[in-house]
Structure 1
Amino acid sequence: MANSIPLLTPQHWKDYELIDCGDFEKLERFGDHVLIRPEPQAVWPKGLTEEEWTKRHDIRFKGRSATSGDWLRKRPGLPDRWHINYRNADVSIRFRLGLTSFKHVGIFPEQAVNWDYIAETVKTFRTKRPKVLNLFAYTGGASLIARAAGADTTHVDSIKQVVTWANENQALSGLSDIRWVVEDALKFVKRELKRGNRYNGIILDPPAYGHGPKGEKWKLEDHIAGMMKDVVGLLDPHEHFLILNTYSLGFSSVIVENLVRAVYPQADNLETGELYLQATAGSKLPLGVFGKFRKIGQP
């Protein structure tokens, strides 16, 4: 009998809904607005009719190139920016969304699975004020969750504009004192190793490709093994968690498992699997693979 791969999907969203996906697009509700965006993973036919998609959506992204495009509004007055909330059993946070030229809106809803794990783990730790490091941190969903759960949180991203965006989300969420770092993640990790710093939690959600603030090149398959070897050196040996999330068509949960085992064979409670969003119309949309483990201190 074949081993089944764990498939996880968010359970607590009220302000987000994947309505349908297919034909390389997805129909999504973010708060009060329904968007159509490209989705390269949705290779199957749509569950709803084109007429239903046209009727339901407010705003549609149309690409001009492989990396940029325009938002087409169905009617005047639809905003460029708006807010949504996320709440689970432990914490509540708030986001500012925005229509960017590269189809993103400032949040990856499937990451709520990892947010729940972060909040639960931080609140379970015996360390009074655990230290959490969020690398490739984008607009800060994981950083906000960690801080709201009581962690001393450091947020690292190479793009100044998204760190500023994350700071806006901190204020919207009624939080403070997140440490903001605009730097290449690889360089930051190596510097922290030299300083002898340790963290109780580390979160990585690296892109397939990217650039640092000084033009440093990042390619997931070329750099992730070396980076993971350095990252696990930052873990507090007594109480910790680590989450690695990858969104790359070439990565599987087996690759992530092998990677984690190679650099940290003593990992307790290692879980690997795939994140997905469940469409109301029926399809499951795969959105990356994860590996995570934790160690809770003894009483």
Structure 2
Amino acid sequence: MIQLLTPTHWKDYELIDCGDFEKLERFGNLVLSRPEPQAVWKKVMSPEEWKKKAHITFRGRSATSGEWVRHNKSVPDRWNVNYQNDEVSINLRLGLTSFKHVGVFPEQAVNWDYISSSIKSFKTPSPKVLNLFAYTGAASLIAKAAGADTTHVDSIKQVVNWANENQELSKLKDVRWVVEDALKFVKRELKRGKKYNGIILDPPAYGHGPNGEKWKLEDHIQEMMQDVVQLLDPQEHFLILNTYSLGFSSVIVENLIKTSFPQVKNLETGELFLQATSGIKLPLGVFGKFRTTS
């Protein structure tokens, strides 16, 4: 069954409107206007409304970089937001980067809820969770806050340092930080005979490891999936695969999981989106996830 899922209870985040290849969002008390390649339709709100609401706007110099233009001099470079559900609470430090990101992907909050509820349902004490392509660590911290022994893997040292800042903000400790190419790390864990109760994958369309390793989603995702499922504890486990690639559909993700793990049970697939308060929906990737149930 294909599902459409959106976060519904994050008080510190709001998608206000999107269209004309842009999106208007509130993170805490700050409202940002920045590019969004998926928003190919017209904006619902008027340009005057956007201008009135936005504290800061990202202006691209190229496809990969640009600068933030402040409409209010008091806008900070860094600020914090909170996320909580019925089981856990974390704090995240956000920041204005030269490549339009701020340090969190809000649509992933749906997956965070799945992570915390899965861990809380397990009988295994301190279940082991592996977060690959882990970015600034929101999913890692959700897992840790839910009681998991958590390993966080990303190829960029500065991003892992950012994740460690978020751990401190959230008053958590002992996440295992690993700066390495994700595929290399998985293969090494296989040789060591390691097992995990939860595995989270949010791979980019393109990327590079710390030693120049190249990652291209369509070229490497099948190999990654075939290796990763061998790390799953056979008794209690969950797995989340999330992709943000214009060429991928939820059917592709379903096929990847089923061919890599034919014995899969409780598989859910679908599309993540953000619901704007203006009424429009913004699609932001497809997912596949499954878990054991007691």
State the TM-score bracket (shorter-chain normalisation): over 0.9
Which residue of 137, 141, 144 corresponds with 1:144?
141
**Which residue identity does 1:204 align to in structure 2?**
L
Would you say 1:207 and 2:178 are equivalent positions?
Answer: no
In structure 2, the gaps of 5 or more residues are: none
Alignment RMSD, CA only? Answer: 0.7
Query: Residue 38 of structure 1 contacts residue 61 of structure 1 at CA under 8 Å; is this kept in 2?
Result: yes
Q: Distance in 2 between matches of 1:12 and 1:266?
A: 34
- The 5 Å alignment of 1:1-299 reads 5-296=2-293, 298=294
* 1:274-297 deviation per Cα after TM superposition (whole angstroms, max 9, x unaligned): 00000000110000000000013x
- Distance in 2 (alpha carbons) for counterparts of 1:275 and 1:234: 26
Amino acid at match of 2:67: D
Contact (CA 8 Å) 2:7, 2:274: kept in 1 or not?
yes
Please state whether the residue corresponding to 2:135 is helix, strand or coil: coil
Q: Tell me the alpha carbon deviations over residues 103-148 of structure 1, each in whole angstroms, 9 at most, x when there is no partner.
A: 0000000000000000000000000110000000000010000000
In 2: Cα distance, 1:51 partner to 1:29 partner: 17
Distance (whole Å) between structure 2 residues aligned to residue 295 and residue 12 of structure 1: 26
1:294 and 1:259 mapped to 2: Cα distance?
16
Corresponding residue pairs, total: 294
TM superposition shift of 1:5 = 2.9
Report percent identity of matched pairs. 77
Q: Which secondary structure state, in structure 2, belongs to the residue aligned with residue 126 of structure 1?
A: coil
Contact 2:2–2:268 (CA under 8 A) maintained in structure 1: no
- Once residues 277 and 78 of structure 1 are traced to their aligned partners in structure 2, the CA distance between those partners, rounded to angstroms, is 25
Does the 8 Å CA contact 1:58/1:74 hold for their aligned counterparts? Answer: yes
Which secondary structure state, in structure 2, belongs to the residue aligned with residue 6 of structure 1? strand
Q: Which runs of 4+ in 1 moved over 3 A?
A: none
Query: Matches of 2:25 and 2:48 in 1, distance apart?
Result: 16
The alpha-carbon deviation at position 76 of structure 1 amounts to 1.2
Query: 1:279 and 1:129 mapped to 2: Cα distance?
Result: 37
Q: Which amino acid aligns with 1:55?
A: K
CA drift of 1:182 comes to: 0.2
- Alpha-carbon contact 2:135-2:163 (below 8 Å) kept: yes
User: In structure 2, how many angstroms separate the alpha carbons of the residues matched to 1:294 and 1:241?
Assistant: 4
Report the AA paired with residue 62 of structure 2: S
| TM-score, normalising length: structure 1 | 0.98
State the secondary structure of the residue aligned to 1:177.
coil
Secondary structure, aligned partner of 1:213: coil
Alignment check: 8 A CA contact 1:12 1:86 kept: no
Letter of the 1:155 counterpart: H
Kept in 2, the 8 Å contact 1:10–1:112? The answer is yes
The separation in 2 between residues aligned to 1:67 and 1:40, in whole angstroms, is 12
CA distance in 2, matches of 1:212, 1:12: 35
